[in-house]
Amino acid sequence: MIAQTLDIVTTAAILYAVATGLLLVFGVMKIINFAHGGLMTLGGYAALVTTQAGLNPWLAIPIAALFGGVTGMAIERFVVRPLYSRPLDAILATWGLSIIIGQLITLAFGRGVQFTQSPLSGTIDILGEGYSAYRLALVGIAALLGLALTALLQGTRLGLETRAVIMNEDLARGLGINSGLVRFLTFTLGSALAGIAGALITPLSSVDPAMGVPWLVNAFMLVLVSGASLVSLLFACLVLGGAQVLVATHFSPVLGGLTIAVLAAIILRLRPQGFARD
Amino acid sequence: MTEARRLSLILAVALLALAAIFAGPYVLDTYSVNVLTRSLLYAAVALTVDLLWGFLGILTFGQSVFFACGAYAAGLVFTHLDFSTGNAVLALALGVGGALLVAAIVGWLAFWHGASALYASVITLVLPIVATQLLYSGGTFTGSSSGLSGFMSFDLSMEAWFWLAGGFLVLVTTAAYIFVKSDAGKLLVAVRENEQRCKYLGLDTSRLKILVYLACAAIGAIAGYIYAGYAMVVAPELAGFVFGTELVIWTALGGRGTLLGPVFGALIVDYESAQLAGDYPFVWQLIIGVLFVLVIVAFPRGLLPVLFDLPRRLVGLLRPRRAAPAASVRLSTLDAAETQGVEPGEGPALSVAGVAKRFGSLTVLEAIDFEARAGELVSLVGPNGAGKTTLMRCIADGAERSAGSIAVNGYDIGRKPPEACVALGVGRKFQMANVFETLTVAQCLQIARVRHARPSLWRRAEVLPLPEAAMHVIATTGLDKQLSTPAHLLSHGMKQALELAMVLALEPRVLLLDEPTAGLTKTERMQIGAILIELTKKQGLCVLLVEHDLDFVREISSRVIVLHQGHIVLDGSVEEVVASELVKQVYAGSGHAGIDHETAPAPKEMPA
């Protein structure tokens, strides 16, 4: 019972960390960044390189953010910007970028599955139940990410401008907000978050050139049911991630893997705005 | 070019393609024949992606599932029941039936009234993921991750499989080509361009999308069935997301909306993949990825149109461009006896009782009651935010109002969607000109007639019969000289006239006009006014008009209803309204003249 509750909380935290970057980009730019999976892979390999170089595994997180962010800048400038008016095409072009990133990584590192060193090993005793210390640490990291993003959006001028662009881009531009710059920074930040997410999940699984793809679809569905709100994303991660854990433990892991996608599709059919309040 | 010549030309090209397929095994080496057989089948699936995405505007990631449906039906039946002629027929039936069932479920989920394009794409993305997982978890029945192999199949030579696959591809490509160029095929483009207008022209767009989706599923399943028979192995990857996106990539590279582009895109890329994948697997994938991004960003129409445009442009440099082609369609006036529209039921043409509309706690309309007879021209006036356009919406779409009832021609509209309201006799012209931008004037009018005359699936009509009222609008405004002009090239006034003609082509009993003269010149306004008077007097239409130009209202209305803050404050003759002190106050805010134009012109207001 305790183990299962912890599973649900930690799964939700991981999903939250993976989906925030995608949510940010979707909220501001109204496009789905299918390169998110590729950028996560990039973050994973950044973590691999970091630990292989003998650096502190925690350093993998900022390094992955740097890799993701810089790649994101290039993607925004050369691929996403020409496609603002064609959102469905932006999905396709970013998917193409995902393929490119995957193939470049394959050329550089080979197809094989590799493992990174976890920054935290061992278990922590919680109410008599030994639980992976790293998974628990992820809850804290995800919470930190969420709080930092909320602070950025609610407490800074950039955040105010970003929220203005989310609500009404034309009006925001009319008021002199440089929405192009807001989009550029958002995409960079979203890509950096994808890199961080990639670095965070590598100690849990392994690193391979296609590691981002399975996460992409789940993150995508979570974002669609949450609209553009970090709070409803948290809610969606808890509900759908929880359902995934329950189905996987009580029925079958295969069905568990489908839970988020199928549930999200049904939720959107019944309530097109998903978990968003409006 | 006459219709018969056009069709025989298409058939001649198809015969040439068949001849090329026949010659294939004699000029190609065994390896190429083997690989190309697969590519030919993939191309048939890419064709369905193009029909859905390029023509209908539905970006689909899941066509791989229907291919796998056909393939697994063959694999499962031949593995578990053994191969026989009877079982082969059974497998084909199961494959196509299964694909149709899956497509029906997906269609119900993805194409319901009000679903967004993004949501439909999401559903098609979830589909292959679910399908692959189900195949993985099928144990020995589906062969799990290794799939099924070693089953018996048709005893055909490699050449025969090539001919079968090629013949199938030529058949479906020709059929698809004839279909998209036909009158019915134009409907796909119309739905992609402007689904809302289609619905308000009485077309059930959800049904159309589902029908096309079902047909595409069946084509995919047959291709998969042939694939399993020839390859004698089926694997879960056939149903996968990766194959699904590859189909989209081939379609985008070749050129969406061209049919032939995706076919050649699939053939070339898949064939080259097989050639190069052995030596440079990752570099090849990388090249395709780069090419794909480049095409999406820089050449969204794909490479085939670019290839075709080049020589055309070179020729264009040397030779002056030919004049626009003459109209391929002649207009004719329908006999008035045939244009009665819906049989009138009991009572008034339009009856609105106790209608209210609320958005949460905000009440936009409250207790709206009025009736209008045939032959009446009722103007709805009132300041911005009075609820005029909202009332129009409530009459044209049964799902809009929060309370009350509306009857058209004596039939209650209930909660019916717009297309069903059109069937009862409602015709709605939008505030902003709402036409099919890339279609020509004649095609726009044809789409408006689809409700009355079922379009041919393979031919193009040479004559377009229109009701007298629509013909009148077309002749008065000079649209008949621009029949082959694409709608987006028309002036604003011409677009308004075209939309009015389209709505009149529906043969409505109740005509809803939302500021039909907004942004028109004085002359154009007079023309429209004269047409409206004639429609009500001669044709007995009931017209409900939202208008800010009060001079115009005064000239043409037989009755005026004044709305203010969601309530009817006055319902009477033009004289009564003009004389009303209350109306002056409502309209101008304070006492001085608002309605009476002659003393002080009312400010031109923006559309509400």
Give the closest of A92, A106, A262 to B130, CB-based.
Answer: A262
Domain total of chain B: 2
Domain identity same for B423 and B566: yes
Give the closest of B115, B126, B285 to A262, CB-based.
Answer: B126
3-state SS, residue B200:
coil
Q: Give domain status of residue B19, yes or no.
A: yes
Q: Which of B419, B388, B430 is nearest to B562 (CA)?
A: B388
Q: pLDDT per residue over A161-211, tens digit each?
A: 888 887 788 888 888 888 888 889 999 999 999 999 999 999 888 888 888
Domain identity same for B16 and B82: yes
Q: pLDDT per residue over A53-99, tens digit each?
A: 888 888 899 999 999 999 999 999 999 888 888 888 888 999 999 99
- Supply B17's token pair: 């393609």
- Does B608 have pLDDT greater than 80? no
Q: pLDDT per residue over A100-121, tens digit each?
A: 999 999 988 888 888 887 888 7
How would residue B600 be classed by pLDDT, with cut points 50, 70 and 90?
A: very low
Q: Give domain status of residue B468, yes or no.
A: no
Smallest Cα distance from B114 to chain A, Å: 9
- Cβ proximity of B559 and B536 under 8 Å: no
Q: Give domain status of residue B32, yes or no.
A: yes
Domain identity same for B281 and B371: no
Domain identity same for B162 and B216: yes
Q: Give domain status of residue B263, yes or no.
A: yes
Residue A38 and residue A98: Cα distance in Å, rounded? 4
- B286 contacts A89? CB cut-off 8 A: no
Set of chain A residues whose Cβ sits within 8 Å of the Cβ of B116: 272
Q: What percent of chain A has pLDDT over 90?
A: 38
Q: Pick the residue with more confidence: A222 or B547?
A: A222
B interface residues, A as partner, C-beta within 8 Å: 59, 109, 112, 114-119, 121-123, 125-126, 129-130, 133, 136-137, 241, 245, 248-249, 252, 282-283, 285-286, 288-290, 292-293, 296-298, 300
Q: Give domain status of residue B464, yes or no.
A: no
CATH number at residue B135: 1.10.3470
Domain identity same for B304 and B362: no
Q: Which of A153, A147, A143 is nearest to A27 (CA)?
A: A153
Q: Give domain status of residue B493, yes or no.
A: no
Alpha helices in B435-521 (DSSP H): 441-449, 468-477, 492-504
Domain identity same for B358 and B247: no
Q: pLDDT per residue over B16-67, tens digit each?
A: 999 999 999 999 999 999 999 999 999 999 999 999 999 999 999 999 999 9
Domain identity same for B99 and B24: yes
Alpha helices in B150-194 (DSSP H): 158-181, 183-193
Q: What's the one-letter identity of residue A257? A: G
Smallest Cα distance from A86 to chain B, Å: 10
Q: A210 and chain B: CB distance < 8 Å anywhere?
A: no
Q: pLDDT per residue over B464-503, tens digit each?
A: 888 888 888 888 888 888 888 899 999 888 888 899 999 9
- Cβ proximity of B205 and B158 under 8 Å: no
Provide ipTM, 2 decimals.
0.89
Domain ranges, residue B208: 3-310
Set of chain A residues whose Cβ sits within 8 Å of the Cβ of B125: 217, 220
Return the residue of A nearest to B125 by Cα: A217
CATH number at residue B583: 3.40.50.300
Return the residue of B nearest to A89 by Cα: B296
Q: Which residues pair with B331 in a beta bridge?
A: B464
Q: pLDDT per residue over B396-441, tens digit each?
A: 998 888 889 999 888 888 889 899 999 888 999 988 888 899 889 9
In this prediction, residue A278 carries a pLDDT of: 56
In this prediction, residue B325 carries a pLDDT of: 52
Q: Which of A109, A40, A68, A212 is nearest to B282 (CA)?
A: A109
